[in-house]
A and B are shown apart, each in its own frame.
Chain A
Amino acid sequence: QVQLQESGPGLVKPSETLSLTCSVSDDSISTGSYCWAWIRQPPGKGLEWIVNMCYSGTKYYNPSLKSRVTISADTSKRHFFLMMTSVTAADSAIYYCTRRTAFTSRRDIWGQGTLVTVSS
């Protein structure tokens, strides 16, 4: 079964840029009909969908975050990325990368999550 693994700095300073990587254990990022997303969860709070990118190249963003967020991929290296600019304490959360089968709501593969804290 495919596995996802998030990586990145656990601590980011306010106003700086957060960069996260999701490593995919198989070739499905370049060969399958899937959509790849970032979702976050502030400690003790609910889930928030941030952005997704499908195999076709289409990208969709949470309107409230769109101006600060970029999603991209390096399919040859089986990675996709999240970049979020001008972070504040409100961006402190566990960040998950996920895989969803295209044309369904079947988001069945999640990474273990990585905790990001925004603090000076």
Chain B
Amino acid sequence: QSALTQPASVSGSPGQSITISCSGTPSDIGDTNYVSWYQQHPGKVPKLIIFDVTNRPSGVSNRFSGSKSGNTASLTISGLQGEDEADYYCNSYINDGSWVFGGGTKVTVL
């Protein structure tokens, strides 16, 4: 299995919106709604922010939203804030029963 493809870094100014893409294949993202996103601050445990493509766990800001088109999933952060500076990982189910992560995207707030 190959890692899902994410941009290494994305940046934006406070208040702006940014989108992180997660590119997969017809065997993973293209064949499932089991796509999730995690936020990880340095030295911390990953935190679930989106599951099943578009769903937010309770307590997660509605500034985070997820979507999917074809073999690509996306995470949008609107109203960018300093606390959003972190690494973000996508994760997808693969139709053989296994799971795969993206390589991660470092978000910088300018």
List chain A positions with a Cβ less than 8 A from chain B: 37, 39, 46-49, 52, 58, 60-64, 96, 104-108, 110-113
User: Bound complex: CA of A104 vs CA of B33, how far in Å?
Assistant: 8
User: Across the interface, do A49 and B35 meet the contact criterion of CB distance under 8 Å?
Assistant: no
Overall SS of chain A's interface: loop
User: Across the interface, do A46 and B3 meet the contact criterion of CB distance under 8 Å?
Assistant: yes
* Given contact pairs A46-B103, A47-B89, A60-B98, A104 touches B46 in the complex (Cβ within 8 A): no
A37 proximity list for chain B (CB < 8 A): 99
User: Across the interface, do A106 and B52 meet the contact criterion of CB distance under 8 Å?
Assistant: yes
User: Across the interface, do B34 and A49 meet the contact criterion of CB distance under 8 Å?
Assistant: no
User: Across the interface, do B51 and A49 meet the contact criterion of CB distance under 8 Å?
Assistant: no
Q: Pick from A47, A60, A105: contact of B35, CB below 8 A.
A: A105
Q: Pick from B47, B57, B89: contact of A46, CB below 8 A.
A: B89
Q: Kindly state the interface size class of chain B when it binds its partner.
A: 20 to 34
Question: What are 24 A-B pairs at a CB distance below 8 A?
Answer: A39-B101, A46-B103, A47-B89, A47-B104, A49-B91, A49-B98, A60-B97, A60-B99, A62-B98, A63-B98, A96-B45, A105-B35, A105-B91, A106-B48, A106-B51, A106-B55, A106-B57, A107-B36, A107-B38, A107-B91, A108-B51, A110-B46, A110-B47, A111-B45
B36 proximity list for chain A (CB < 8 A): 105-107
A52 proximity list for chain B (CB < 8 A): 99
- Sorted nearest first, the 9 A-B pairs with minimum C-beta distance are A105-B34, A60-B97, A105-B36, A106-B51, A46-B104, A49-B99, A47-B101, A108-B48, A105-B51
